[in-house]
Amino acid sequence: MNLAALLADLGDVPVITDPAIVRKRSRDFFWYSPILNAQLADKSADLIAAPRTEAEVIRVAGACARHRVPLTVRAGGTGNYGQAVPLEGGVLLDITGLSAIEWMRPGALRVQAGAMLNAVDAAMQPHGWELRMHPSTRRTATVGGFVAGGSGGIGSVTYGGLREPGNIHAARIVTVEPEPRVIELRADAAQKINRAYGTTGIITALEMPLAPAWEWIELVIAFDTFLDAARFGLDAALSDGIVKKLLSPVDAAITPYFGALKSACPPGRAALIAMVAEPSLESFKTLLAGRGTITHEAPADEHGGRVPLYEYTWNHTTLQVLKTDRSVTYLQCLYPHDRLLESVARMNAMFPDEVLPHLEFIRFAGRVTCSALPVVRYTTPERLDEIIALHEAAGVHIANPHVYTLEDGSRYKRVDADQLGLKHEVDPYGLLNPGKMRSYVPAAA
Amino acid sequence: MNLAALLADLGDVPVITDPAIVRKRSRDFFWYSPILNAQLADKSADLIAAPRTEAEVIRVAGACARHRVPLTVRAGGTGNYGQAVPLEGGVLLDITGLSAIEWMRPGALRVQAGAMLNAVDAAMQPHGWELRMHPSTRRTATVGGFVAGGSGGIGSVTYGGLREPGNIHAARIVTVEPEPRVIELRADAAQKINRAYGTTGIITALEMPLAPAWEWIELVIAFDTFLDAARFGLDAALSDGIVKKLLSPVDAAITPYFGALKSACPPGRAALIAMVAEPSLESFKTLLAGRGTITHEAPADEHGGRVPLYEYTWNHTTLQVLKTDRSVTYLQCLYPHDRLLESVARMNAMFPDEVLPHLEFIRFAGRVTCSALPVVRYTTPERLDEIIALHEAAGVHIANPHVYTLEDGSRYKRVDADQLGLKHEVDPYGLLNPGKMRSYVPAAA
């Protein structure tokens, strides 16, 4: 790798070469997985390039192509599968300098990929809008990172995941070629960069739909059993007249790890964490009708560093447990919509004290179902594989978070054909984090 | 009936006694049904009272109770089951004088029952809001009439029907007693006046949720077959990322009756009538992807008397055909969500040239399915009953629109227990359109 020649080509693009900093920024939250931790802990880029404009992104991309240097895009670094970890060194492209909102209009905005999610929402809220959904890492993640490495989150109970038509309006990407091109991918075509971990072009801007910025009320509701919480969560999720952003049943085995929120989680009882639009709150409580006890109720408010309730849900649940117990890890499940509660009951009975359940109600292909990121008391890789196999045998899909390639992390164990096709177009030398899309063989290599 | 004594008690409440006017206003759109037309054509109130305030409503209600005079509430008179037709004469209470908006805040408003739906939407739109749903009679119907006599409509593809939790926030009613009381029914309790045809108290005000007032784009899309239109409609209905208000597949047998819209409906092809939010339009068209041909596309705009596209859907479809062919009538179907397209195909094959299909995609209890009001070439009451029975045998629920009692028009052939209970409280003499809730026996009578 001719890094000196590359550096000379980068001109005045800001660069960091301090190995300690480069090594630190080459990491993300892969350490939630003991398996990935062993595989990725020593990976590092050789230098960081931090472009401030799309023109500088193009300059870096062109230089990498000419000198055949790997390029890995990184933003907030909040991913869990090493999305931002360079497998073969090279340049780590820090995209967070591109953070401008290009335009907004009612129901949509266009924003540079490195904009922080919470900054975007803060800018939209005075206009009455916000992003439709965000991951639990909203306070540290970027729009581009979410689209490149995520699938859905808080808000998906209403809008489904990023994969649903209409949830990404467009993406602008820069190719990694000696003379990089800028390509606009619209509507369906924008899915080619969704959850491709930045391997199908450097995303520089995104056009995203907006949702009304409701006054969200955060609630914790205690239930006698986890299944009671799940049953009510399902009823609320199916109530199309009740506007909500989050419905997360959490088992009594998990809430003791909930730090500041413990006071709202009576020992031995399950909790449902919810975000409901203020005008729907009365109907939501009527639906609850004494089935559970509201232990916390307050308007969502992140001012003054208050911890938002969603930081106890999705994969932040795992983080809450990890704060006390570094031996746990997690899985990523998708439950079948047509026998949801039966499947939840069955899986929960299968691994007592080993797989600690919490659920995330979502819409998936138009149907209400649950995503789940259960906390797993980890013993061995073999047992983890066995737990995964038992889920899949029971009809619960697993997107394995203990692998770092696109293919192995997919529910289908292969990369999407459209994404593979786009990669041939935009990355002819296979420089975008080589090894991440392992089935890709560059024609020009 | 001592009408003279009643009149004396009404004070300066405006009253109309001209028999021609009273008779005319005692009708609604029951004549869509040849059976109801025969049964209700000669029904009439004895006089109209047109209160301007809730205090005047109370005055009329008290007088009717003291003099044991039947009272039937009427607003826009757009119902199809004689909801506003007095079965035993008495007072027709014209509620349209109560039309004020009491308050609005983001996501909700409180409005008097006699406010016109389109006036409410026009008042809310500058604030960025509109009602979540409305019937196809939006240009002539009232909020109170919709809630008392309707079930859902344009908007229900997103929010479900009025029956869903959260779609009616509260109702204020006046009882029919010598000293009438005013009762506030909130959340679930407000369902006791939904689709009770005004028999469970006189609705004077409603608190309703609001939805964002999108720029709606009206579309007509031509498809080779009705099932192609239905299949695409289902895909669009299941796309939670695409904001829509209306998805109505219409068979090629019906579009020749579509007057001004005929130019957008190529002969022999089915049509899908849709309303899509402008920011979702591109994704909607991408989903369409050549499966159909867009023949009409324009922003919804009712200025200058332009006919909105929704006046070709729901039960306005029947009206469009009736304009040319007075021999047709219609049914009200609810398809099973779990074998929707199979059921549609099966029913459509069963009655060629006799039952002309069009569908309305809705959410029902959280699932996407279809309501349908097919146009029926009417022959005899016996054949109509047979068609109904064949639908029900095939698992397609029918709410019979050829009966005038609450019970017979219900899918369950009985009145809701909560509604019956409320009637005992608010109408002890059974004066609210006696005969309409036929299973009610007043305790005080």
Instruction: Report ipTM (2 d.p.).
Output: 0.96
Give the sheet arrangement for strand B244-250, strand by strand: B244-250, B270-277, B216-223, B293-299
* Distance between CA atoms of residues B65 and B175, nearest Å: 9
**Of A209, A277, A363, which has the smallest distance from its Cβ to B107's Cβ?**
A277
The answer to whether the Cβ–Cβ distance between B239 and A286 falls below 8 Å is no
Buried b (16+ CB within 10 A) or exposed e, A328-352: bbbbbbbbbbeebeebbeebbeebe
**Of A108, A279, A286, which has the smallest distance from its Cβ to B209's Cβ?**
A279
DSSP sequence for B219-239: EEEEESSHHHHHHHHHHHHT-
Residues 6+ apart with CB under 8 A from A269: A222, A223, A224, A252, A255
What confidence category does residue A302 fall into, taking pLDDT thresholds of 50, 70 and 90?
confident
The answer to whether the Cβ–Cβ distance between B240 and A164 falls below 8 Å is yes
Listed residue (A95, A51, A55, A52) closest to A73, CA to CA: A95
* Distance between CA atoms of residues A373 and A393, nearest Å: 18
Span A59-118, pLDDT tens digits: 999 999 999 999 999 999 999 999 999 999 999 999 999 999 999 999 999 999 999 999
The answer to whether the Cβ–Cβ distance between B237 and A366 falls below 8 Å is yes
How high is the pLDDT of residue B445? 56
Between A417 and B110, whose confidence is greater?
B110
The answer to whether the Cβ–Cβ distance between A241 and B132 falls below 8 Å is yes
* Distance between CA atoms of residues A331 and A309, nearest Å: 21
- Min Cα distance A213 → chain B (Å) is 10
Q: What is the mean pLDDT of residues A416-430?
A: 94
Nearest CA in chain A to B105: A279
**Of B108, B212, B241, which has the smallest distance from its Cβ to A167's Cβ?**
B241
The answer to whether the Cβ–Cβ distance between B166 and A238 falls below 8 Å is no
The answer to whether the Cβ–Cβ distance between B279 and A243 falls below 8 Å is no
**Of A128, A169, A241, which has the smallest distance from its Cβ to B167's Cβ?**
A241
* Distance between CA atoms of residues A315 and A140, nearest Å: 14
User: Three-state DSSP class for A377?
Assistant: strand
Structural contact between residues B103 and B83, judged by C-beta atoms closer than 8 angstroms: no
Using CA of residue A115, residue A118, residue A122, residue A125, what is the dihedral sign? Answer: positive
- Min Cα distance B155 → chain A (Å) is 11
DSSP element (H, E) containing B335 = none
Listed residue (B160, B76, B68) closest to B114, CA to CA: B76
Listed residue (A328, A356, A361) closest to A254, CA to CA: A356
Nearest CA in chain B to A285: B187
How high is the pLDDT of residue B305? 81
Structural contact between residues B288 and B221, judged by C-beta atoms closer than 8 angstroms: yes
- Min Cα distance B219 → chain A (Å) is 17
Nearest CA in chain A to B152: A241
Structural contact between residues A356 and A374, judged by C-beta atoms closer than 8 angstroms: yes
**Of A158, A188, A366, which has the smallest distance from its Cβ to B286's Cβ?**
A188
Span A376-412, pLDDT tens digits: 999 999 999 999 999 999 999 999 999 999 999 988 8
The answer to whether the Cβ–Cβ distance between A167 and B210 falls below 8 Å is no
* Distance between CA atoms of residues A111 and A171, nearest Å: 10
The answer to whether the Cβ–Cβ distance between A166 and B106 falls below 8 Å is no
Listed residue (A186, A243, A193, A176) closest to A215, CA to CA: A243
The answer to whether the Cβ–Cβ distance between A283 and B367 falls below 8 Å is no
How high is the pLDDT of residue A410? 87
User: Angle CA(A235)–CA(A238)–CA(A242) in degrees, nearest 5?
Assistant: 95
The answer to whether the Cβ–Cβ distance between B241 and A166 falls below 8 Å is yes
Structural contact between residues B193 and B443, judged by C-beta atoms closer than 8 angstroms: no
Judging contacts by C-beta atoms under 8 Å, the chain A residues touching residue B338 are: 338
How high is the pLDDT of residue A222? 98
Nearest CA in chain A to B287: A165
Nearest CA in chain B to A158: B240
Torsion angles phi and psi, residue A69, rounded to 5: -105, 130
* Distance between CA atoms of residues A258 and A358, nearest Å: 13
Nearest CA in chain A to B364: A240
The answer to whether the Cβ–Cβ distance between B365 and A238 falls below 8 Å is yes
- Min Cα distance A275 → chain B (Å) is 15
Full set of structural domains in chain A with CATH: 3-94 (3.30.43.10), 101-212 (3.30.465.10), 216-398 (3.40.462.40)
User: Angle CA(A196)–CA(A202)–CA(A205) in degrees, nearest 5?
Assistant: 100
Judging contacts by C-beta atoms under 8 Å, the chain A residues touching residue B151 are: none
The answer to whether the Cβ–Cβ distance between A278 and B107 falls below 8 Å is yes
- Min Cα distance A171 → chain B (Å) is 13
Name the token pair of A115: 């904009």
Nearest CA in chain A to B133: A241
Residues 6+ apart with CB under 8 A from A417: none
- Min Cα distance B131 → chain A (Å) is 12
Judging contacts by C-beta atoms under 8 Å, the chain A residues touching residue B215 are: 106
How high is the pLDDT of residue A342? 98
What amino acid occupies position B87?
L
Name the token pair of A91: 């340049």
The answer to whether the Cβ–Cβ distance between B240 and A363 falls below 8 Å is yes
The answer to whether the Cβ–Cβ distance between A209 and B241 falls below 8 Å is yes
Judging contacts by C-beta atoms under 8 Å, the chain B residues touching residue A285 are: 187
Judging contacts by C-beta atoms under 8 Å, the chain B residues touching residue A160 are: 240-241
How big is the A-B interface in CB pairs under 8 Å? 131
**Of A186, A237, A242, which has the smallest distance from its Cβ to B282's Cβ?**
A186
**Helix (H) and strand (E) counts in chain A:** 14, 21
The answer to whether the Cβ–Cβ distance between A107 and B158 falls below 8 Å is no
- Output the CA–CA distances (angstroms, integers) from residue A201 to A99, A420, A439, B82, B352, in the order listed: 18, 11, 16, 63, 54
Judging contacts by C-beta atoms under 8 Å, the chain A residues touching residue B186 are: 282, 286
Torsion angles phi and psi, residue B224, rounded to 5: -60, -45
B421-426: long-range contacts (C-beta < 8 A, 24 or more apart)? B421/B192, B422/B185, B422/B192, B422/B193, B422/B200, B422/B201, B423/B196, B423/B199, B423/B200, B425/B175, B425/B183, B426/B173, B426/B175, B426/B176, B426/B177, B426/B181, B426/B183, B426/B200, B426/B201
Each residue's pLDDT expressed in tens, for chain B with a length of 445 residues = 789 999 999 999 999 999 999 999 999 999 999 999 999 999 999 999 999 999 999 999 999 999 999 999 999 999 999 999 999 999 999 999 999 999 999 999 999 999 999 999 999 999 999 999 999 999 999 999 999 998 999 999 999 999 999 999 999 999 999 999 999 999 999 999 999 999 999 999 999 999 999 999 999 999 999 999 999 999 999 999 999 999 999 999 999 999 999 999 999 999 999 999 999 999 999 999 999 999 999 999 988 888 999 999 999 999 999 999 999 999 999 999 999 999 999 999 999 999 999 999 999 999 999 999 999 999 999 999 999 999 999 999 999 999 999 999 988 888 888 999 999 999 999 999 999 999 999 986 5
The answer to whether the Cβ–Cβ distance between A240 and B280 falls below 8 Å is no
- Min Cα distance B301 → chain A (Å) is 18
The answer to whether the Cβ–Cβ distance between B241 and A286 falls below 8 Å is no
What confidence category does residue A445 fall into, taking pLDDT thresholds of 50, 70 and 90?
low
Residue with tokens 């062109």: A62
* Distance between CA atoms of residues B288 and A83, nearest Å: 33
Residues 6+ apart with CB under 8 A from A159: A132, A133, A167, A211, A363, B240, B241
| B103 CB-contact burial (10 Å; exposed 0-12 / middle 13-18 / buried 19+) | exposed
Residue with tokens 């939840």: A344
Query: From the candidates B240, B247, B338, which should be mutated to test the interface with A, based on the most A CB atoms within 10 A?
Result: B240
- Min Cα distance B328 → chain A (Å) is 34
B116: which strand partners? B142
Query: From the candidates B167, B215, B243, B283, which should be mutated to test the interface with A, based on the most A CB atoms within 10 A?
Result: B283
The answer to whether the Cβ–Cβ distance between B166 and A366 falls below 8 Å is no
- Output the CA–CA distances (angstroms, integers) from residue A280 to A111, A239, A277, A288, B205, in the order listed: 31, 11, 5, 12, 19
- Strands B71-74 vs B91-94: parallel, antiparallel or unpaired: parallel
* Distance between CA atoms of residues A280 and A274, nearest Å: 12
* Distance between CA atoms of residues A35 and A384, nearest Å: 10
**Of B209, B338, B366, which has the smallest distance from its Cβ to A237's Cβ?**
B366
Judging contacts by C-beta atoms under 8 Å, the chain B residues touching residue A187 are: 282-283, 285-286
Judging contacts by C-beta atoms under 8 Å, the chain B residues touching residue A108 are: 279
